[in-house]
A and B are shown apart, each in its own frame.
Chain A
């Protein structure tokens, strides 16, 4: 019975593996620097390790957002999120598993009359914005560093290409580890409160109940990578901007670093021990971090290289995906509960009229000005950089 309920989560894991592994190895495979088989096997192994070893942090944050306390509810939440991803992908709309699962959990909260943890929601929404921004910053700096190093070391192009190939495999493995650590919460996070498994002692190591679930979810992700990610990997490189092997290396490394930062409890603990605020351990959309990283490289090369429509579609996805997933979850929970009489969860933390709870109006009130502000800042930057470029071109022309 447990396995039946888990199928929706496993399906979600499979779609995540099929699509998001391309963010890690897509540019390397697309540019034929790394073969698909090698990439898929490496990604599968490291996704599993990352999910089991470091998947707990981000899952805890999702659990704080809404602790889905019935297997039927967890099944429906994961299924609704998976369907949202599938339907929006079919419709050609930008979508992220992370945002779909968050929307689905909020939908469950509304249906079961549970309050939404404002702090957890703020943390999550903040990382949707900071994830791609951080990706862009990392990519810009790393690309600059790579270019300077290339100039300084004066190594032969073939040797350099060989190093890049090894580098792509290494950072790809790190990226897959971080993907597993960060995104396993999307796949199995909702099942953790409703499926309490006993610890499994293997002699040399012990797997906790949540780790066993993460292992299952990671296997589903690995299956997605091995069975369906080839085509996505081969086309992902050219979607936003044509990437050189150097740029591909930087994009994968930036993405891996961002995902690692938002899933490492050790790093967060280190920040606290240094008297700094802790890093929120939150599932981040790997696709959007990759887009941010590619944007960082685009900014390094000049704004003209960037397909700006993609950026607009990301921002729209921040709103449309959770709303669509939330509405779909609410409807599906209603059907499952009333038609099949399956327990989908109960209220343990009812919303209060003022203070802790958060309403949709509050979310909209805070998120819209934030999005407008980011768009305005970016547009100002674009105008300024375009003017600067025109000035430079004019100067060059008249000289």
Chain B
């Protein structure tokens, strides 16, 4: 039984570490976008390298947590949902890394007239994912608090949709100096930033149902 307890303790530490990694990854993503839009290439490349490391670490942690849960038969009844939750949280940092990589490879032109809106979009989308982490942590200690913590995730997801819609409308309706290719490129990039909050929403839905089952 002592071996089992040690495994549990180690696993709970690793789960916390996984959440930390995702949380830091989201912060790095927001800073990376800010650096790109402000034209600070060095800072942007630093953030890109950091998020790459964090994404790799999150993948390794995710696999080891899943592995230990199966090998030591931990949380046997919630295992499939737990695995899905970890996968969806990992998807957030994956999407964030992919987005920054797209900026690096495709170097989209962000006109200064929408730079503020662009940074706001990344902020609000990142906030949605960021608010998910306290809810996920609460699931393990106070499942009855999960629902109220998730309200912010849904709020920021809606705000992201609104901000992206407004920005696309501005780009296509008001910014006639941009070529259609540039407009399409910005639309494509905003869509990728939106994906982060969408992933957060999917994870939030799963977390909400898991918390309800815990409380019954």
Indicate whether A and B interact.
yes
Instruction: Contact check, B142 vs A154: say whether CB atoms are below 8 A apart.
Output: yes
6 contacts between A and B (CB under 8 A): A32-B76, A32-B77, A157-B139, A159-B8, A165-B4, A245-B77
Cα–Cα, bound, A299→B207 (Å): 26
Q: Tell me whether A156 and B77 are in contact in the complex, defined as CB-CB below 8 angstroms, given that A162-B4, A301-B216 are known contacts.
A: no
In the complex, the answer to whether A162 meets B8 with C-beta atoms within 8 Å is: yes
B residues less than 8 Å from A151 (CB atoms): 142, 144
- B77 contacts A244, CB within 8 Å? yes
A31 at interface by CB-CB < 8 Å: yes
* Residue interface bits B194-216, CB-to-A below 8 A is 1, else 0: 00000000000000000001111
Distance in angstroms between the alpha carbons of A200 and B105 in the assembled complex = 88
Query: In B167-212, which residues have CB < 8 Å from any A CB?
Result: none
Contact A166 B75 (CB under 8 A): no
Does the CB pair B140–A158 fall under 8 Å? Answer: yes
Within 8 A of B (CB), among A153-171: 154-159, 161-162, 165-166
Question: What B residues does A31 contact at CB under 8 A?
Answer: 76-77
Among residues of A, the one whose C-beta sits closest to the C-beta of B78 is A157
Known contacts: A151-B144, A301-B216. The answer to whether A158 contacts B77 by CB under 8 A is no
Q: Is the CB of B141 within 8 A of A154?
A: yes
Cross-interface CB contact of B5 among A32, A157, A162, A301, cutoff 8 Å:
A162
Confirm or deny: B71 has a beta carbon within 8 angstroms of a beta carbon on chain A.
Answer: no
Tell yes or no: A33 within 8 A of B by CB.
yes
Contact A156 B141 (CB under 8 A): yes
Residues of A within 8 A of B1 (CB): 166
Bound-complex Cα distance A285 to B91 (A): 51
CB–CB B216/A158 < 8 A: no
**Does residue B73 face the partner (Cβ distance < 8 Å to A)?**
yes
* Residues A156 and B142 in contact, CB atoms below 8 Å apart: no
Report Cα–Cα, A156/B138, bound state, in Å.
Answer: 9
Q: How far is the CA of A157 from the CA of B11 in the complex (A)?
A: 11
CB within 8 Å of A: which B1-51 residues: 1, 4-5, 8-9, 11-12, 15
Is B74 an interface position by the 8 A CB rule?
yes
Q: Which residues of A contact B143 (CB under 8 A)?
A: 157
The residue on B at minimum CB distance from A243 is: B77
Per the bound structure, the CA–CA distance linking A171 and B149 in Å amounts to 36
Are A158 and B75 neighbours in the complex by a CB distance under 8 Å? yes
- Assuming the A-B contacts A162-B4, A162-B5, A301-B216, are A156 and B76 also in contact, with contact meaning beta carbons closer than 8 angstroms in the complex? no
B75 CB, nearest partner CB in chain A, Å: 6
Q: Closest CB-CB distance, B120 to chain A, in whole Å?
A: 35
| Chain A residues in 8 Å Cβ range of B75 | 157-158, 161
Q: Which of B76, B144, B213 has the most CB of A within 10 A?
A: B76
Distance to closest chain A CB from B96 (angstroms): 27
Select which of B12, B76, B144, B215 is within 8 A of A158 by beta carbon.
Answer: B12
Chain A residues positioned under 8 Å from B216 (CB to CB): 244, 301
Closest 4 CB pairs between A and B? A32-B76, A157-B140, A158-B8, A158-B12
B213: nearest chain-A partner, CB-CB = A244
Taking the closest CB of chain B, its distance from the CB of A351, in whole angstroms, is 53
Q: Which of B4, B76, B141, B144 contacts A157 (CB 8 A)?
A: B141
Q: Which residue of B lies closest to A157 (CB)?
A: B140
- Report Cα–Cα, A266/B143, bound state, in Å: 42
Alpha-carbon distance between A31 and B77 when the two chains are bound, in angstroms: 6
Contact: A156 with B5, CB < 8 Å? no
User: Which A residues are CB-close (under 8 A) to B74?
Assistant: 158, 161
Q: How far is the CA of A147 from the CA of B142 in the complex (A)?
A: 12
**Shortest distance between the CB of A35 and any CB in chain B (Å):** 8
Q: Which of A1-43 contact B (CB under 8 A)?
A: 31-33
Query: Cα distance A301–B11 when bound, in Å?
Result: 31
A207 to chain B, nearest CB (A): 33
Chain A residues, CB < 8 A from B9:
159
How far is A245 from B15 in the complex, measured between Cα atoms in Å?
21
Q: What per-residue 1/0 map shows which CB atoms of B57-91 lie under 8 Å from chain A?
A: 00000000000000001111100000000000000
The residue on A at minimum CB distance from B82 is: A157
Q: Is the CB of B144 within 8 A of A156?
A: no
Report the bound CA distance from A158 to B7 in whole Å. 10
**Chain B, 83-137, CB within 8 A of any chain A CB:** none
Interface residues of A in 216-273 (CB under 8 A from B): 244-245
Q: How far is the CB of A268 from chain B (nearest CB, A)?
A: 35
Across the interface, name the chain A residue whose C-beta is closest to B4.
A162
Cα distance A156–B74 in the bound complex, in angstroms? 13
Are the CB atoms of A156 and B12 closer together than 8 Å? Answer: yes
When distances are taken between beta carbons in the complex, the residues of chain A under 8 Å from B12 are 156, 158-159
Give B111 Cβ to nearest chain A Cβ, in Å: 47
Q: Cβ of B11 and Cβ of A158 under 8 Å apart?
A: yes
- Whether B140 pairs with A156 at a CB distance below 8 angstroms is yes
User: A33 near B76 (CB under 8 angstroms)?
Assistant: yes
Cβ-closest chain B residue relative to A301: B216
Which of A158, A165, A166 has the largest number of chain B CB atoms within 10 A? Answer: A158
CB distance from B209 to the nearest CB of A (A): 14
> A300 — nearest CB in chain B belongs to which residue?
B216
Separation in Å of the B140 CB from the closest CB of chain A?
4
Contacts of B15 in A (CB 8 A): 158
> What separation, in Å, do the CA atoms of A157 and B140 have in the docked complex?
5
A357 to chain B, nearest CB (A): 51
Which residues of the partner chain A approach B214 to less than 8 Å between Cβ atoms? 157
Nearest A-chain residue to B139, judged by Cβ: A157
Measured CB to CB, the closest approach of chain B to A230, in angstroms, equals 16
Give complex CA distance A151, B211 in Å.
Answer: 13
What is the CA–CA distance of A240 and B135 in the complex, to the nearest angstrom? 33
Cβ–Cβ contact B139 & A32, under 8 A: no
Residue in A closest to B11 when the chains form the complex, CB atoms? A158
* Given the contacts A162-B4, A162-B5, A166-B1, A155 and B76 also touching, CB distance less than 8 Å: no
